[in-house]
Structure 1
Amino acid sequence: MDMLDFSLTILVLVLLILVLVLLISTIVTTMVWPFSSRPRWNPGGRHCYITGGSSGLGLSLAILLTKRGADVSIVARNEANLQKALKQLEAARINPNQVLKAYSFSLGTQEAAADALDAACVPHGGRTPDAVFLCAGKSTPGFFIEQTEESMRKGMDETYWLAAWSAMAATKRMVHTRSKGKIVFISSVLGYFGMIGYSTYSPGKHAIRGLAETLRQELLLYSVEVQIYLPVTMYSPGYEEENKSKPELVLKIEESDSGLTPEKAAEGLYEGMQRGDFHITDTLIANVFRTSTRGASPFGSSVLKDLLFSLIGTIALPFWRKDVDRQVVGHRKAHLEYLASKGILAVE
């Protein structure tokens, strides 16, 4: 047996051992979790405020929480979509006392975000929401070379600032009213790494993670819990829209990705909240990136599993990166021809 065969054999054995230990850890965690001393968050009778609640993850989460007895307020810009979403919430209610409301607001400024939150508190006697979910956001993929100052600023507006202004409104209100609630940010697996085509999106998702990391610690002062969900691709109306501007190369790189439906993503988010995770991830690839870029963030519900995911990332991610780099370099000629056709690249 030569050294290459020997190395491959060792690698396969290590991976098999990792899979076995991961399986055992998952079984043990599943058995122990229901008996954990940590109280599970119960949305029944609580007021849940959801931005971006008229479609995608926001709507799926709103329906899930409604089915569990929560009072739900959804906020979005499009009134027609909000009314359609509200009908779905009404169909999901489990008791006649649930308060289900929809509010049309643009959340792009601090003032508008505060006004929207204040409006949602009125039917509850002014009481601050028990949980605020920041699902609003948008992605418009494209090459960095084609971006403008306007598109770059818009990218941050539609990712980071939409979350930041509502988080600020919620924080100020929770602290002022001495409410011990929770704020849940929605980032993306692209908040762990960057990828070609997402120069107007990934920076905002990284920024959301940075804000959540900061507030997790700062809001301990007020007994307000902060969590952040970082999902993989979601097959939502927003995903269909972003594919219209997504470069061919990016579509090619992503063609083997396995994504989530908004319903499945909502379930993953909810289960992570029940576990009490700070960083909530619910797929293998997201877990690998989470543990490989954890920094000083708290471990998940199983330290052993996190260490195993991190080890898998140490082995596998360099191969993944090299494969993506290879595809990018292989597309160089076609890309330069594309830029020349757009007048961006000088013709030789």
Structure 2
Amino acid sequence: MFVLIFSSVAIGALLLLILPMFSGNKWSPKGRHCYITGGSSGLGLSLAILLTKNGADVSIVARDEQKLRSALDEMEKVRQSPDQKLLSYSYSLNEAEAASAALEADCAAHDGRCPDAIFLCAGTSTPGFFVEETEASLRKGMEMTYWVQAWTALAAAKRMARDRVPGRIVFVSSLLGYMSIVGYASYSPGKHALRGLAETLRSEMILYNVKVQIFFPGTIYSPGYEQENKSKPKITLKIEETDEGMQPEKVAEGLLRGVQKGDFHISADLLGNIFRSSTKGATPGNNVVLDAICSLLGGVALPIWRRGVDASVVAHRSEHETYLAERGFFGKK
């Protein structure tokens, strides 16, 4: 996500060579019933197209009906079989009742069959300074990062347990679910919370033969990213100015690859693997060699990166004080 002096081409190439030696694709989407929230744009849409190309029955859920129609048109272009079911549903997923209704509608369209895989891609970010947040904005931040996925996960877990479906639930967190920086007070907490939920459910859902996974992507060059940049503080933009993000299509490929390998914590690039390995605690690892190398790199370089970030924040103090003064912040109570 941010420039790190240790991410050299040589190390990246070495990891790419090592990883395939210890892993193989075990899960195939072909013929599976896949359900994607936030499937009308960005990562969700790219994943829907990728799963369609791989022969899955794909259902997407989002609020905007026009975007859903456009997304469904894109999916139809890559249909592999006339028997594939490609469906869309318009629901507001940040409410428990609506999230449950959306899932039940999709089950009904599949003769009552619960999805084999639930991909929770819904979520938005509205960056800003914590001192300018309100109760309403902070609650909305959790609603649009944590609850928008948690409610569907709850409905899916209940349905899978009742139907005895050996499926999977895949959360989408963020690199900001491993750490955070200035500007993400309304976003990062929800992404951290998703990790806590996924950690819990990974253990609990073993009771029902349901696999739980969670994805931690870095910057995705999507419509959502363009929107969040409109409110993003200057200091946050400064810290991220050398950020090398990824296109949604590549991120979707990384997500599917991790799902196929059975990784619990899924990372799509070297930087994600460094943060993952350096903060994993008791989380199951992905690859002994990869994890060891990334953990070593993180132990050396992450403190250097953090000091650089802190120095940038300190250098911004004067400009930030002017920014707050112009908005009358110091006269408020």
TM-score, shorter chain, exceeding 0.5: yes
> Structure 1 counterpart of 2:285, which letter?
F
1:342 corresponds to 2:332: no
Per-residue Cα deviation, 1:295-314 (whole angstroms, up to 9, x for no partner): 100001x2111011011101
CA RMSD of aligned residues (A): 1.8
Offset, 1:21:
8.0
Tell me what 1:324 maps to: 309
1:303 corresponds to 2:293: no
Higher relative contact order (CA 8 A, sep 6+): 2
- For residue 136 of structure 1, give the secondary structure of its aligned residue in structure 2: coil
Offset, 1:26:
4.3
Offset, 1:19:
8.6
Offset, 1:24:
5.2
**Relative to 1, partners in 2 of residues 1:19 and 1:94: Cα closer, same or farther, differing over 3 Å?**
closer
1:94 corresponds to 2:80: yes
> Structure 2 counterpart of 1:103, which letter?
Y
Per-residue Cα deviation, 1:238-272 (whole angstroms, up to 9, x for no partner): 00000000111111110001001110000000111
Offset, 1:224:
0.1
Paired residues in the alignment total 328
The equivalent position to 2:253 in structure 1, one of 245, 267, 274, is 267
Q: Which whole-Å CA distance do the structure 1 matches of 2:213 and 2:124 have between them? A: 20
Alignment of 1:1-348 (within 5 A): 26-34=16-24, 40-300=26-286, 302-346=287-331
Q: Which whole-Å CA distance do the structure 1 matches of 2:12 and 2:326 have between them? A: 50
Per-residue Cα deviation, 1:203-229 (whole angstroms, up to 9, x for no partner): 000000110010001100110000000
> Structure 2 counterpart of 1:191, which letter?
G
> Structure 2 counterpart of 1:52, which letter?
G
- For residue 55 of structure 2, give the secondary structure of its aligned residue in structure 1: coil
Q: Which whole-Å CA distance do the structure 2 matches of 1:146 and 1:247 have between them? A: 11
**Relative to 1, partners in 2 of residues 1:29 and 1:146: Cα closer, same or farther, differing over 3 Å?**
closer
Q: Which whole-Å CA distance do the structure 1 matches of 2:110 and 2:187 have between them? A: 35
- For residue 150 of structure 1, give the secondary structure of its aligned residue in structure 2: helix
Offset, 1:30:
2.1
Q: Which has the larger radius of gyration?
A: 1
Q: Which whole-Å CA distance do the structure 2 matches of 1:245 and 1:112 have between them? A: 29
Offset, 1:92:
1.0
Offset, 1:327:
0.4
* Preserved CA contact (<8 Å) 2:130 2:183: yes
Offset, 1:56:
0.3
> Structure 2 counterpart of 1:320, which letter?
W
* Preserved CA contact (<8 Å) 2:18 2:290: no
> Structure 1 counterpart of 2:17, which letter?
I
Percent identical pairs in the alignment equals 58
**Relative to 1, partners in 2 of residues 1:81 and 1:20: Cα closer, same or farther, differing over 3 Å?**
closer
Q: Which whole-Å CA distance do the structure 2 matches of 1:328 and 1:271 have between them? A: 36
**Relative to 1, partners in 2 of residues 1:119 and 1:332: Cα closer, same or farther, differing over 3 Å?**
same
Offset, 1:194:
1.4
**Relative to 1, partners in 2 of residues 1:306 and 1:126: Cα closer, same or farther, differing over 3 Å?**
same
Q: Which whole-Å CA distance do the structure 2 matches of 1:25 and 1:165 have between them? A: 36
Q: Which whole-Å CA distance do the structure 1 matches of 2:92 and 2:74 have between them? A: 22
* Preserved CA contact (<8 Å) 1:54 1:76: yes
Offset, 1:31:
3.8
- For residue 252 of structure 2, give the secondary structure of its aligned residue in structure 1: helix
Structure 2's unaligned 5+ residue stretches are none
* Preserved CA contact (<8 Å) 2:19 2:290: no
- For residue 199 of structure 1, give the secondary structure of its aligned residue in structure 2: coil
Q: Which whole-Å CA distance do the structure 2 matches of 1:29 and 1:336 have between them? A: 47
> Structure 2 counterpart of 1:62, which letter?
A
Structure 1's unaligned 5+ residue stretches are 1-11
- For residue 329 of structure 2, give the secondary structure of its aligned residue in structure 1: coil
> Structure 1 counterpart of 2:306, which letter?
R
* Preserved CA contact (<8 Å) 1:51 1:136: yes
> Structure 2 counterpart of 1:319, which letter?
I
* Preserved CA contact (<8 Å) 1:230 1:279: yes
